[in-house]
Structure 1
Amino acid sequence: MGICIEPSYKTMAVKESEFIFEENLTCRYVAVIFGVTGLVGKEIARQLLMRSAWKVYGVARRPGKIPIQHPNFHFISCDLLDAEESRQKLCLLEDVSHVFWVTWASGFPLDSPECYEQNREMMANALDVVIPRAGAALKHVSLQTGTKHYISLTGPPAAEEERDEGMRLYDECCPRVETGHNFYYVLEDLLKERLAGKVAWSIHRPGLIMGSSHSTLYNFMGSLCVYGSICKRLNLPFVFGGEKQCWEEMGLDGSDARLVAGQHIWAASNDTIYSTTGQALNAVNGSSFTWKEIWPAIGLELGVTVPENPFSPDFTFSRAMAEQGQVWKDIVREEGLVETEMEDLANWGFLDALFRCPVKMLGTREKADRLGFTTRYNTLDSITYWIAVMREEKLIPW
């Protein structure tokens, strides 16, 4: 099974009017996407390949179970933490004009010194090969981090600015948090050092990403859909387990993978925001929501039973779903889905932490709007869209 990207390709509910595919054109741009099997990496590849004149290299440790099939796409399997393997595999890259870094090393807890160092090492190994090999052809490097740039898991949040309706929205000028070891910072610093003011680069900070992938650690849509599928199978109520504040108040931004990918591409090809000092942009949907408002509609889309009051402060996904691996295997087999283990799509600890997050991570999109990137999505629409995509990709049942 593969994702065949060609003129006739249409994914359910996709609006392709903004992307024009032209056949038989010489590729004028060469992109390498590090993390091509992830939520945003897959979408960057799809959008680039539906535009004209792009050749795309995709790099990940393992190929996706739903591989991209396109004559201008080339997959490279590489462990970027292995310097020698990186030298051998990435030397295959030719004439790279655009780099998209949408991956990270997840072997250690966030904000730990080990996570910080591992991520620096991984990017350094890649840049050691790509920058000298690309030479003058390299035009732009696009780095994805996130709105966790503005908070710490080990201390108080950074300075906050009061905005409309009492919401605290972080803008791109907020100072770095001094506590912890946020690896986002070391990636920014490494790019600044290695590009040395000679190549434009941009930083993109999404919130909670909605997309489709089976190889993403913090996979919200995968977790949500597997949970819904198991509830439907066992006739369990579709409840929200978490803190009341997370249920009733907006605590994070939704970020549709289509929007985040589009912003990466827009920044990399838009002269008005070229910056050799690193232009940072929040990449968020821009619509406000609470789980209390949209949870019943999500349940309706998944075909599950939503209680009159779905909020359950004592419910934890980790405990409720811990023994349901065989149920998921049965669903996969009987529905003819792509072969996955429950843990390939679902991260129950992530859902528990997400719905009990003690701090708010809300970013303003004023800068992106002002510079001309005005794409927006309603977060509930994003969720229902990606449910449809995951069904079409046969990652979840109808």
Structure 2
Amino acid sequence: MSSAIVFGATGVSGIACLKALLKTPTSEYKSILAVSRRAPELDTKDNRVKHVKVDLMDSVDSIAAGLREAGGADAVHVFFYSYIAKDEEEDLVETNRKLFSNSLEALAQVATKLQVLLLQTGYKYYGVHKGGDYLATYPFQESAPRHHGLNFYYVQEDMLKEAAQKGGYHWIVSRPNFILGESKGNFMSLAVTLGQYASILKYLNQPLIFPGSKATYDLLYDFSTADHNGAHQLFLVKNEKAYDRAFNIHDGKPMRFSELWPKVADPPADDPPDPSKIGKEVVLLHASAEFAQRHSHDVEGYVRDNKLDPAAIKYATWDFLDFATSRTWSDLASLDAARSVGWTEDNDTWEEGFKPVFEAMRRDNIIPRSS
């Protein structure tokens, strides 16, 4: 029997990975170490999950000590999802370089039985956050040349390959897009932010108008449901054909916001929204000083009147919703690499992605139960 380590265990992807691991028999993993600053909230009685409370920006020795005490020496599989958002690109690169470097060095001290380390990055590898000349050729292939300029995914992937070579273990990179999932306190899920957006507008008696551009509304995008990603990533670490390779992962069929939006509306719309009303008629709710000044009283009332979790409004990233719905290019990647190693599963983006997230948000008192 062996152990697994999940870095970033309280995020949307970390929670999905833990859920996938908990579906395995105890004969496969005797313990699952959840590395994060706070304990993950899981609906399980399985006592294999052990919380390792560390800050990955602290010293390598302190991280190693936490892993060692929890039994990290028996780890054979490591999944890395930790991430710190920064506004400035140079700061983003340096912060996440240190985050990953500290973790790799701590693992080198402790996890001497390590066989595979999987790093989750994403479609930013293909320049989707920049557009224009930065974009890779469609459909995005894992072998696509890197765009010019900074990208912290490039830094981390190079670090991973070097560490794996030195440590004598294998590496895998997983690249999802627009991850759909729910985790209390997580700030990076399109579905979570969309659920808040829709609920607040309903409270304010404003129409649920698509917050982005007409171009974005009609373009095709890959969505990657977190639980689907987690199952795929666990499949990869146990598949020797996947070792030392990168893999795109999405739900299997790209979708347009024009297909999804009528399902988000409450009550459901019979037809897509009037194109003339798609755009910026409704001011997007930013978690910025401007939003705080304009809507703080309304949002406080929304949380209070619906008896929501007092931190409910923090479980969203408004600028991410703005980014996701206001671009003029698609996000489309090939799954040929995943298929080549035996991955055959697909996922229903609405029924298994958005819809369960909204249901979980109601259950966790993040949005009103009537939304």
> TM-score scaled to structure 1, two decimals?
0.81
**Partner residue, 1:164:** none
**Partner residue, 2:153:** 184
Structure 1 CA distance, aligned partners of 2:267 and 2:231? 26
**Partner residue, 1:40:** 13
| Correspondence for 1:81 among 35, 47, 57 | 57
**Amino acid of the residue matched to residue 162 of structure 2?**
E
Q: Deviations over 1:272-322 (max 9, x none)?
A: 32x2xx21000111212211222011114789x995455124433136964
| Correspondence for 1:247 among 182, 198, 217 | 217
1:1-398 equivalences in 2 (<5 Å): 28-53=1-26, 54=29, 55-64=31-40, 70-83=46-59, 84-94=61-71, 95-109=74-88, 112-135=89-112, 137-151=113-127, 153=129, 156-158=132-134, 160-161=136-137, 168-179=138-149, 181-196=150-165, 198-250=168-220, 252-273=221-242, 275=243, 278-300=244-266, 308-309=274-275, 310-318=277-285, 322=292, 323-333=294-304, 335-342=306-313, 344-381=314-351, 382-398=353-369
Contact 1:158/1:174, CA 8 A, preserved across alignment = no
Shift of 1:189: 0.9
- In the alignment of these two chains, the number of paired residues is 355
Shift of 1:80: 0.4
Q: Which moved more, 1:209-218 or 1:43-52?
A: 209-218
Structure 2 CA distance, aligned partners of 1:282 and 1:143? 12
Contact 2:216/2:329, CA 8 A, preserved across alignment = no
Structure 1 CA distance, aligned partners of 2:306 and 2:2? 41
Contact 1:241/1:355, CA 8 A, preserved across alignment = yes
Structure 2 CA distance, aligned partners of 1:327 and 1:369? 48
Contact 1:238/1:307, CA 8 A, preserved across alignment = no
**Amino acid of the residue matched to residue 62 of structure 1?**
R
Structure 1 CA distance, aligned partners of 2:131 and 2:305? 47
Q: Which runs of 5+ in 2 are unaligned?
A: none
Shift of 1:41: 0.5
Structure 2 CA distance, aligned partners of 1:386 and 1:152? 24
Structure 1 CA distance, aligned partners of 2:164 and 2:96? 17
| Percent identity for Structure 1 against Structure 2 | 26
Contact 2:312/2:367, CA 8 A, preserved across alignment = no
Q: Which moved more, 1:379-388 or 1:202-211?
A: 379-388
Structure 1 CA distance, aligned partners of 2:136 and 2:106? 39
What is the DSSP-based 3-state SS (H/G/I as helix, E as strand, rest coil) of the residue aligned with 1:75?
strand
What is the DSSP-based 3-state SS (H/G/I as helix, E as strand, rest coil) of the residue aligned with 1:287?
coil
Summarize the Cα distance change of 1:153–1:335 in structure 2 as closer, same or farther, 3 Å threshold: closer
Contact 2:174/2:249, CA 8 A, preserved across alignment = yes
Structure 1 CA distance, aligned partners of 2:363 and 2:7? 25
Structure 2 CA distance, aligned partners of 1:364 and 1:331? 42
Summarize the Cα distance change of 1:334–1:302 in structure 2 as closer, same or farther, 3 Å threshold: farther
What is the DSSP-based 3-state SS (H/G/I as helix, E as strand, rest coil) of the residue aligned with 1:138?
coil
What is the DSSP-based 3-state SS (H/G/I as helix, E as strand, rest coil) of the residue aligned with 1:107?
coil
Shift of 1:249: 1.5
What is the DSSP-based 3-state SS (H/G/I as helix, E as strand, rest coil) of the residue aligned with 2:117?
strand
What is the DSSP-based 3-state SS (H/G/I as helix, E as strand, rest coil) of the residue aligned with 2:69?
coil
Structure 1 CA distance, aligned partners of 2:68 and 2:327? 42
Contact 1:105/1:115, CA 8 A, preserved across alignment = yes
Summarize the Cα distance change of 1:184–1:120 in structure 2 as closer, same or farther, 3 Å threshold: same
Structure 1 CA distance, aligned partners of 2:357 and 2:258? 20
Structure 2 CA distance, aligned partners of 1:58 and 1:266? 19
> TM-score scaled to structure 2, two decimals?
0.87
What is the DSSP-based 3-state SS (H/G/I as helix, E as strand, rest coil) of the residue aligned with 2:83?
coil
Q: Which runs of 5+ in 1 are unaligned?
A: 1-27, 162-167
Shift of 1:65: 6.0
Shift of 1:336: 4.8
Structure 2 CA distance, aligned partners of 1:65 and 1:308? 41
RMSD of aligned Cα (Å): 2.6
**Amino acid of the residue matched to residue 317 of structure 1?**
L
